[in-house]
Amino acid sequence: MPTFNDERELSLTAAGQDAVDAYNHTIRGYLCMAPDTGDRMKAIFAADGDMIMAHCLKGYFMMLMAMGGLVPKAQAAAAKAMELAPGATPREALHARAVSHWANRDLDGAARVWEEILLDYPHDILAARLAHFGHFYCGDDRRLRDSVNRILPYWTENMPGYSYLKGMQAFGFEEFGEYTRAQAAAEKAIELEPNDPWATHAYAHVMEMQDRQDEGLAWIERLRPHWTQANNFQNHIWWHEALMMMDQGRMDDVMAQYDAHVFEPDSEEYLDICNATSLLQRLEIMGLDVGGRWAPLADKVRERTEEHILTFVDMHYLLALAAVGDGKAHEMREFLAAYEGDEADSNLPIMKALGVPMADAIIAYRDGRYDDATAAMMPVRYEVWQVGGSHAQRDLFELILIDAAMKGTNAALARGLLAERHAAKPGDHWTEKTYTGLLAA
Ligand SMILES: [Fe+2]
């Protein structure tokens, strides 16, 4: 099989230039989160049904959806990639190995292979972006920060895709708490390519973590014509905008945003469900009546209690079920506890060590057994980062803990938790109000 060069001069095994062009187009779509990325991938298959990187991409895209029903399809794509690996380049063979790890639920193993690829091929932007995703859902902000910084010295600004690396660098710095450098990297990314939802979002995180809501909202507003071209990821930016409104105490606006942009009635996409669940729970903690909004969310996840792809996602699904008092929440907790899975499954130890106690806490919290909720959450609260997601997303579990403590019988715990939050987030509207109220009482 002949080899060609992709946009970044990396060797690609393909039947012809048509397939390579379609591959480049697909990678560009993946990076800017274009809604037609799946169709772009189909065009690679139309040009070359035996292109190893097309099968790798197919497996990756299936796993990126984090849906249990797609895992067998990802496994089939990975098996085909492995079959083609002997006739491929060493880099492509490594991608076949990475997708095989991931399709067999070993995201950690896949991330190790992507990093192995990047040491020898620092221009492999697909490996870089997937590693970024993997480190994000392993929760380790050091890995998230270091992964992209290891390869950036090999890049120059004029190389295709450079701006997306700056967006990833911004998010890595942000999660690590280096907000000044994160902001600068996000600004550079957007200066070079305004249609970068991930960089847009990294900047929103910087503003969220520093309680700079006015600047964050202005940034999101300014870039709205660009990020609203994105796939479902745009709903997550709408979610960030709602979070900033919430931080300003604009609860009616948050509710309107939920209805108009955060809750997506026809979507089965995991991030959409997580966004909606997370926002509804926050609204309730902040004292709002969300009416019948939980029921359609619970309906979406009732048959998804045994997927166990990411503990972070499972906890949101469970929250939606527990919120409507569905017995499925208890059933899901039992599935989590009993699931044996594959030895290679890198989510399994996290699910056992953190998912089960967090599920106990969430169910107890929604059942109104607040002391049980705090008892379940307190021993694991400082380990919750391991379920993955961002600091801003995981803050939900801190809020649940505080709310449970306030509604339970341990007043000293409630006061202590609020005091530490007040120190950590001095500009946070709800914390300020709640802490001041508690002290006055
Ligand atoms: Fe985010």
pLDDT of residue 159: 97
pLDDT of residue 340: 86
Boundary residue ending a domain (138, 169, 197) = 138
Other Cβ atoms closer than 10 A to 342 = 10
Distance CA 349, CA 333 (A): 15
Domain-located, residue 188? no
Buried b (16+ CB within 10 A) or exposed e, 41-69: bebbbebbebbbbbbbbbbbbbbbbbbee
How many Cα atoms sit within 13 Å of 114 on the Cβ side? 30
Q: What percent of the chain clears pLDDT 70, i.e. is strictly above it? A: 100
State which H helix or E strand residue 351 sits in. none
CA 390–ligand 1 middle distance (angstroms): 6
Whether the Cβ atoms of residue 321 and residue 299 lie closer than 8 Å to each other: no
CA 394–ligand 1 middle distance (angstroms): 10
Neighbours of ion ligand 1 (CB under 5 A): 390
Instruction: List the one residue out of 139, 126, 116 whose CA is nearest residue 27.
Output: 126
pLDDT digits (tens, 9 = 90+) for 35-83: 999 999 999 999 999 999 999 999 999 999 999 999 999 999 999 999 9
pLDDT band at 426 (very low <50, low <70, confident <90, very high): confident
Amino acid at 440: A
pLDDT digits (tens, 9 = 90+) for 301-319: 999 999 999 999 999 999 9
Boundary residue ending a domain (104, 138, 172) = 138
What is the pTM for the complete model shown?
0.96
pLDDT of residue 182: 98
Average pLDDT over residues 381-404: 97
Instruction: List the one residue out of 413, 424, 427 whose CA is nearest residue 438.
Output: 413
Q: What is the CATH number of the domain that holds 102?
A: 1.25.40
CA 200–ligand 1 middle distance (angstroms): 10
CA 91–ligand 1 middle distance (angstroms): 31
Domain-located, residue 221? no
pLDDT at 103 over 90: yes
Domain-located, residue 358? yes
Average pLDDT over residues 274-302: 97
Boundary residue ending a domain (138, 160, 176) = 138
Domain-located, residue 175? no
Number of structural domains the chain divides into = 2
Domain-located, residue 310? yes
pLDDT of residue 341: 82
CA 41–ligand 1 middle distance (angstroms): 26
3-state percent breakdown (helix, strand, coil) of the chain, nearest 5: 75, 0, 25
Domain-located, residue 374? yes
CA 343–ligand 1 middle distance (angstroms): 31
> 132 with 267, same domain?
no
Domain-located, residue 155? no
CA 120–ligand 1 middle distance (angstroms): 30
CA 155–ligand 1 middle distance (angstroms): 26
- Main-chain phi, psi angles of 12, to 5 degrees: -125, 130
CA 307–ligand 1 middle distance (angstroms): 23
pLDDT digits (tens, 9 = 90+) for 238-251: 999 999 999 999 99
CA 362–ligand 1 middle distance (angstroms): 22
CA 352–ligand 1 middle distance (angstroms): 25
Buried b (16+ CB within 10 A) or exposed e, 279-317: bbbbbbbbeeeeeebbeebbebbbebbebbbbbbbbbbb
CA 312–ligand 1 middle distance (angstroms): 13
Instruction: List the one residue out of 109, 126, 118, 14 whose CA is nearest residue 60.
Output: 126
| Residue 272 to residues 35, 219, 268, Cα–Cα distance (Å) | 15, 22, 7
Q: 4 pairs with which residues across the strands?
A: 12
Residue 315 structural domain: 263-409
Environment class of 15 (CB within 10 Å of its CB; exposed 0-12, middle 13-18, buried 19+): middle
pLDDT of residue 428: 86
Domain-located, residue 249? no
